Amino acid sequence: MNTLHDAARHVFASDNSSGVHPEVMAALLAANGGHTDAYGADEYTLAFGAWARSVFGEDAVALPVLNGTGANVLALQAATPRHGAVVCAASAHINTDEAAAPERSAGLKLITLEHEHGKLVPDAVHAAARALGSQHHAQPTTLSLSNVTEAGTAYTPTELAALSAAAHEHGMLVHVDGSRLSHAAAHTGAGLRELVSDAGVDVLSLGATKNGAMLAEAVIALHPLAAAALPHLRKSTTQLVSKQRFVSAQLLAMFEGGLWRENAARANALAARLAAGLTELPGVKLAHPVQSNAVFVQAPAALLEPLRSRFSFHGAGTAASPARLMCSFDTQDEHVSALLEAAASLA
């Protein structure tokens, strides 16, 4: 088949626009050929499970899945009883960008909370817990946190531990949407275990697609109730992959070594450089702190629209809808330089 897209084009619309890291592609080729057992009984999936136990604890149950929305729906179902509800930030991806999948597919009520730059605080969790015990209200039994958040900010291990403690005080389980957990780890300097097991997280949606994989996420359950439910929910959530070795091979390539941190750190560093350059221009200011691979800015339309037509990004550039520019694992210094030079000439 001929290449149908412009392989030289680089955009800042999303880290989902990027291709696949060469090491991940090589892992897919290495996993090809011959026959293995299907539906997760293959050597690659077993090896990924062993990796997860070595990092998150020997009781961790890790199931590879295909996409972030599926991971979140599966994880939340495993963590939330039928009478329960999920507490999350109003800006959370499960609330704003998953086409009501938690409600429609899993039948879960979402209780949204006010936040600052996408992040919740323990007092908000305590306030939500006041509904517990009332037969007239959905029971807040699960706290879902995004790390990084939809505002591109990262929770530290200390912040996560405080939120987990608040949730556990009220009998809630804690879920983390970690589609960009690697970027949070790169920003905070923490390890994956510090941001998950050591912080009291009960079930994790671990992302790889936005950081250089093709189609690869995982749900990792640490709490025994979620771990027991997870395998029995996966197929009904349409996330049981028959040729699962190809998903697991991607996850192994990403996480067994340091590729996950290397890719995320590079994207984060280029986002920081992009933010520094843009905020030197008149009329441009940050809407959120830059703590990952996302830059949110308020800026005049006269500056943004010519840039958008060339480099592609989302958001109007207003306080209500900041412009969002994303760096990817394959963003290069020259890509950032080209955007900043174009912006400077317009300013």
User: Do 123 and 235 belong together in one domain?
Assistant: yes
pTM comes to 0.97
User: Do 156 and 288 belong together in one domain?
Assistant: no
- Domain annotation covers residue 201: yes
User: Do 39 and 157 belong together in one domain?
Assistant: yes
**What's the mean pLDDT when you consider all of the chain?**
97
Q: How confident is the model at residue 315 (pLDDT cuts 50, 70, 90)?
A: very high
Q: Which of 208, 228, 255 is the C-terminal boundary of a domain?
A: 255
Residue that has been written with the tokens 């897919």 in this structure: 28
The structure tokens listed for 315 are 């958001």
Q: How confident is the model at residue 268 (pLDDT cuts 50, 70, 90)?
A: very high
What is the mean pLDDT of the segment spanning 329-335?
98
User: Do 187 and 263 belong together in one domain?
Assistant: no
User: Do 118 and 38 belong together in one domain?
Assistant: yes
pLDDT digits (tens, 9 = 90+) for 7-38: 999 999 999 999 999 999 999 999 999 999 99
User: Do 143 and 218 belong together in one domain?
Assistant: yes
User: Do 69 and 164 belong together in one domain?
Assistant: yes
- Domain annotation covers residue 94: yes
What is the number of alpha carbons within 13 Å of residue 157 lying toward its C-beta?
14
Q: Is the pLDDT of residue 347 over 90?
A: no
Count the domains in the chain.
Answer: 2
- Domain annotation covers residue 75: yes
Residues 302, 324: Cα–Cα separation, whole Å: 16
Domain that holds residue 335: 259-346
Q: Which of 201, 226, 255 is the C-terminal boundary of a domain?
A: 255
pLDDT digits (tens, 9 = 90+) for 169-207: 999 999 999 999 999 999 999 999 999 999 999 999 999
pLDDT digits (tens, 9 = 90+) for 110-142: 999 999 999 999 999 999 999 999 999 999 999
Q: What is the CATH classification number for the domain harbouring 44?
A: 3.40.640.10
SS3 42: coil
pLDDT digits (tens, 9 = 90+) for 158-178: 999 999 999 999 999 999 999
- Domain annotation covers residue 10: no
- Domain annotation covers residue 3: no
* Contacts for 7-10: CB closer than 8 Å, 24+ residues apart: 10/311, 10/330, 10/331, 10/332, 10/335
User: Do 248 and 311 belong together in one domain?
Assistant: no
Q: How confident is the model at residue 92 (pLDDT cuts 50, 70, 90)?
A: very high
- Domain annotation covers residue 298: yes
User: Do 55 and 164 belong together in one domain?
Assistant: yes
Residue 211 contacts residue 262 (beta carbons within 8 Å): no
Q: How confident is the model at residue 215 (pLDDT cuts 50, 70, 90)?
A: very high
Residue 143 contacts residue 173 (beta carbons within 8 Å): yes
What is the mean pLDDT of the segment spanning 303-307?
97
Answer positive or negative: Cα dihedral of 212, 61, 107, 181. negative
Residue 26 contacts residue 232 (beta carbons within 8 Å): no
Q: What is the CATH classification number for the domain harbouring 306?
A: 3.90.1150.10
- Domain annotation covers residue 294: yes
Using alpha carbons, list the distances in angstroms from residue 43 to 34, 50, 217. 13, 11, 18
User: Do 329 and 242 belong together in one domain?
Assistant: no
- Domain annotation covers residue 176: yes
Q: Which of 215, 233, 255 is the C-terminal boundary of a domain?
A: 255
CA dihedral 72, 77, 80, 83 (to 10 degrees): 130
User: Do 130 and 62 belong together in one domain?
Assistant: yes
- Within 8 A by CB and 6+ apart from 319, the residues are 287, 298
User: Do 274 and 170 belong together in one domain?
Assistant: no
